[in-house]
Amino acid sequence: MTPHLLLSRLLAAAALLGAACGTPALAERADRDQPLNFAADRLRYDDARQVNVLSGNVVLNKGSMVIRAAQVEVRQTPAGDHQAVAVAADGQRAFFRQKREGLDEHLEGEAQRLEYDSGSDTLRMSGNAVIRRYRGKQLADEVSGQTIVFDNAAEVFSVAGGAEGGDGRVRGVLSPRRAGTDAPRGSSR
């Protein structure tokens, strides 16, 4: 077995072990019920489609969640939930950050396109996507791929590779949890 193949298998096993150990990516649950605040250079409201189109240095805030992008379309569903599609400027990536529930941790993500749905409590990042977990201010984990789907309700994120701009593989670094750090919810530590 070549060293490269052995390393690939070890990384895959570590990723599966991390997933099996139940390290949830649970974001602040209260965020989904917060009002959506925004700032942008321009706003165009389409009353017939019930869509707000924000453009130019857009910043959205919803509780601890922050989204920054070149343009964002925001819809409010009949149930009162918010759906937002954020698109980055050419050559850049849109940005996402959210605090994790009950922990001194934050998730950050970047991609060419972000799709957020407060009703299903999901975030889909596509196009050169990366998600990072910070414990305090320390980078703990980082995973990248073509598409990342973060399902807060299920406490799961999934990553798919793709051919765009690379070799199509999912890449990541997972740090071990040290004694004395915040343990995941439901952990017996």
pLDDT tens digits, one per residue of 60-106: 998 899 999 999 999 988 888 889 999 999 999 999 999 988 888 99
* CATH number of the domain enclosing 54: 2.60.450.10
Residue 28 near residue 99 (C-beta atoms within 8 A):
yes
Contacts for 185-188: CB closer than 8 Å, 24+ residues apart: 185/24, 185/26, 185/101, 185/102, 186/22, 186/24, 187/22
> What is the C-alpha to C-alpha distance for residues 81 and 62, in angstroms, rounded to an integer?
12
Under the banding of pLDDT at 50, 70 and 90, the label for residue 6 is very low
Q: Report the domain count for the chain.
A: 1
Asked if 116 and 67 touch (Cβ cutoff 8 Å), the reply is yes
Q: Does 188 map to a domain? A: no
- In angstroms, the CA 39 to CA 20 distance is 40
Which range of residues forms the domain containing residue 34? 11-174
Q: What is the pLDDT of residue 186?
A: 43
Whether 3 is covered by a domain: the verdict is no
* Residue 143 within any structural domain of the chain: yes
* Amino acid in the structure at residue 168: G
For residue 146, being part of any structural domain is answered with: yes
Position 49 in a domain: yes
Note the pLDDT of residue 88: 97
Average pLDDT, integer, range 38-66: 93
181 within domain boundaries: no
The C-alpha atoms of residue 5 and residue 14 are separated, in whole angstroms, by 14
pLDDT > 70: what percent of the chain? 75
155 vs 170: CA distance, rounded Å: 20
Domain contains 184: no
Counting beta carbons within 10 angstroms of the beta carbon of residue 182, is it exposed (0 to 12), middle (13 to 18) or buried (19 or more)? middle
Q: Of 1-5, 48-52, 68-72, 110-114, which gets the smallest average pLDDT?
A: 1-5
Q: Which two tokens stand for residue 48?
A: 């017939």
pTM given for the model: 0.74
**pLDDT by residue (tens digit) across 135-164?**
999 999 999 999 999 998 888 889 998 755
Q: Is 60 exceeded by the pLDDT of residue 21?
A: no
Q: Is residue 41 part of a domain?
A: yes
> DSSP states of 62-101 as a string?
ETTEEEEEEEEEEEE-TTS-EEEEEEPPTT--EEEEEEBT
